[in-house]
């Protein structure tokens, strides 16, 4: 038990302690920027179902959501082959998307309803993406250090094993979050709203 706890702490120090906060900062700043952009979109210009457009809450299946978010997870973990640039870019794009969607949504429904559309699955999905980003950022840093001659080996078996476990745990969280989003999130939000929300 003691050895397992020590190993867990070591993984935390190597992979999460530094890189998760960095990833969260990039995602957070990008989300705020996206929210400001989304809030600036005039609500009158948004498409409506009456006008033949689409509503803000599309109906997606668990598989749709899982595949989409697992693809994002893989992209965020590709720091080793891009010196961390793909990871940072993925965080920025995801943050902007989240922010824009929230910025537009709060113009149409109560902010509490918007929170219910995000939080039930977001409490699993966002940490999973941050852990995947941490893997990408650490791999990117190790690659830079290897190129500069500060590391004898690019990756060790331990690195690959630990990264594999972290990504597997993240993938499982993504699948659970996708199920919640597809089957529970909208229902919970509608209970808070007291009415049916637009879905296509």
Q: Supply the pTM of this predicted model.
A: 0.88
d(CA 26, CA 20): 10
CB 100 within 8 A of CB 34: yes
> What pLDDT, on a 0 to 100 scale, did the predictor assign at position 55?
47
What residue spans define the domains of the chain?
2-40+58-193
> What pLDDT, on a 0 to 100 scale, did the predictor assign at position 88?
95
Burial class of residue 46 (count of CB atoms within 10 Å of its CB; 0-12, 13-18, 19+): middle
The phi-psi region of residue 41 (left if phi > 0; otherwise alpha if psi is between -120 and 50; otherwise beta) is beta
> What pLDDT, on a 0 to 100 scale, did the predictor assign at position 82?
85
* 10-residue mean pLDDT series, the chain (200 residues): 82 94 97 93 63 51 92 87 90 95 89 91 96 95 90 88 95 96 87 68
CB 190 within 8 A of CB 196: yes
């Amino acid at each position: 038990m003691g050895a397992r706890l020590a190993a867990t702490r070591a993984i935390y120090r190597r992979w999460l302690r530094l890189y998760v906060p960095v990833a969260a900062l990039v995602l957070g700043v990008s989300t705020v920027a996206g929210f400001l952009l989304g809030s600036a979109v005039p609500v009158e210009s948004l498409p409506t179902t009456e006008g033949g457009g689409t509503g803000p809450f599309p109906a997606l299946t668990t598989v749709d959501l899982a595949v989409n978010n697992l693809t994002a997870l893989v992209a965020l973990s590709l720091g080793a082959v891009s010196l961390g640039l793909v990871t940072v870019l993925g965080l920025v794009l995801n943050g902007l998307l989240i922010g824009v969607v929230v910025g537009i949504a709060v113009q149409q429904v109560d902010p509490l309803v918007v929170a219910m559309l995000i939080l039930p699955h977001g409490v699993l999905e966002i940490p999973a993406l941050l852990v995947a980003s941490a893997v990408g950022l650490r791999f990117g840093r190790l690659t830079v250090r290897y190129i500069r001659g500060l590391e004898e080996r690019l990756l060790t078996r331990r690195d690959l094993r630990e990264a594999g476990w972290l990504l597997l745990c993240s993938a499982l969280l993504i699948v659970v979050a996708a199920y919640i989003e597809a089957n529970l999130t909208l229902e919970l939000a509608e209970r808070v709203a007291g009415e049916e929300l637009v879905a296509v």
